[in-house]
Structure 1
Amino acid sequence: MTLLELFELLKKHMKLVVGLPVVCALLVAAYSFIGMPNTYTATTSLYVLTSQDQSSSNLSSDLSASQMVANDVTTLLESNRVQNATADDLGLKNLSDFEISVSSATTSRVIELSVTGTDPQQVAEVANAIADNVSAISQDVMKVQAVNIIDQAVAPQAPSGPKRPLYVAVACMGGLFAAVAIVVVADMLNMKVRSAEEVEELLGVPVIGRIPLVKGGR
């Protein structure tokens, strides 16, 4: 099937090609606006201070060692001990309702902690509580001098998700691809002879005449 033939085929089924993407987009839009609550993200940043920072004269060696400690603290932030302690401090059963994201650059001792949930005030409280707990636990377990909080998390004013326009766009594209696939497969399964060229190809003889179709005639 050539590209021109595909376009001609799609033109014959324009209602399906246009209607299915629109229906898919409307359904996903309705679900995303009605069934999916807004989510909010609060972020706090931490600075890892090791015991060598004040005594070591080799800045390069000190920075490399501190970065390794920062990576360990990053892992500690996602540990069950820190999260369970945070849940206990806030009177929560667990932190399963929150999405916790931790990131740190390889050339920096600054760690960014982000907490996402449906309550803007609560996500800020969880982020700050995690920061406080990781500071205490890292000093106890890893003998880190301190994990200082650079910026306290504040309750976000605007939602960070869900990304409803993206979901609608993906649904629309998915509906379009599905419509094209349905039209092409239906055409491939249609075994009717629809042109003189197909007759010549099937029978191997030329067409020498055609009988016109007259609407309303006998």
Structure 2
Amino acid sequence: MNEEYQELDLVELLRGVVSNWWLILLFMIIAAGSSYYATKTYVVPIYKAESTLFIGKENNVLSGISLGDFQLDSKLVIDYRELIKTRLVTEEVISDLELKSTRNEVISNLRINIITESRFMNVTYQDPIPERATQIVNRFSQVLVEKAETIVGVNNIQIVDYAITPTTPISPNPIMNAMIAAMVGAMVAMGIILLKMAMNNTIKDESSVEKEFGIPVLGVIPKFKGEGRTS
């Protein structure tokens, strides 16, 4: 047997894939449907609530803002980002809202984002229950404002936007998961098709004989319609 025949040529592979398009489509539909159903049924959705704070001059100061004030406030933004994650703030939030989560669990779902080259700060919290996410992030913002004057010694932070209850989860994305599953299903189906073709050693036509044995075909005996066995 010629070693060259062991390798399937590209045209033959493409023909095999195209002729079995229905199998690929079937695997894609099954994979996508299963993924979508599993995501919607078994994966817990996560919601994100967000509040916005501004760090500026103290409330009782009415003069204009100097460059020094801006630089000081920019540094305080970093201080406030660390202050909101301290035990002093987090434990008060947990106690006020009677949360059953530990401090580490609460911190892991809390995010503080400082907007570049500004004195605005976004506080976000992720939770399976949208109402709870809203309560927690708003309480964190309130406690931060209360503790800022006590700890830092200035009263220059205020809540610009309180968080509102989110209605759309940030994860999971069932449509995206279904699309990924469909692509995986297509690859699995093509793998099965190619494996089946590679394991098929039957002689299909005269060109296969030439590849298999390396000899030319001198003639082909045709099969006539209606031809049957004779006793």
TM (norm. structure 1) is 0.78
Q: 1:154-194 deviations in whole A, cap 9, x for unaligned?
A: 223x2234322222222222212222233223333444444
Partner Cα separation in structure 1 for residue 114 and residue 54 of structure 2: 10
C-alpha displacement at 1:131, in angstroms? 0.9
Aligned to 2:40: 33
Distance 1:144 1:41, change over 3 A: same
* More deviation, 199-208/116-125: 199-208
* More deviation, 57-66/200-209: 57-66
C-alpha displacement at 1:68, in angstroms? 3.1
C-alpha displacement at 1:108, in angstroms? 0.9
Aligned to 2:90: 83
Q: What is the 5 A alignment of 1:38-57?
A: 38-49=45-56
Matched residues, number: 216
Partner Cα separation in structure 1 for residue 69 and residue 154 of structure 2: 13
**Residue 201 (1) aligns with residue 208 (2):** no
Q: 1:38, 1:159 within 8 Å by CA — same for their partners in 2?
A: no
Q: What is the identity, as a one-letter code, of the residue corresponding to 1:85?
A: E
Aligned to 1:180: 190
C-alpha displacement at 1:139, in angstroms? 4.1
Query: Structure 2: which 5+ runs fail to align?
Result: 1-7
Distance 1:99 1:177, change over 3 A: farther
Q: 2:32, 2:181 within 8 Å by CA — same for their partners in 1?
A: yes
Query: Structure 1: which 5+ runs fail to align?
Result: none
**Residue 108 (1) aligns with residue 115 (2):** no
Match of 1:160 among 159, 169, 176: 169
Q: What is the 5 A alignment of 1:59-138?
A: 59-79=66-86, 81-94=88-101, 96=105, 99-138=109-148
C-alpha displacement at 1:203, in angstroms? 2.7
Distance 1:68 1:173, change over 3 A: farther
Distance 1:123 1:197, change over 3 A: same
Partner Cα separation in structure 1 for residue 213 and residue 29 of structure 2: 43
- The SS at the match of 1:115 is strand
Match of 2:15 among 8, 11, 15: 8
Q: What is the identity, as a one-letter code, of the residue corresponding to 1:87?
A: I
Partner Cα separation in structure 2 for residue 140 and residue 166 of structure 1: 47
Partner Cα separation in structure 1 for residue 95 and residue 174 of structure 2: 34
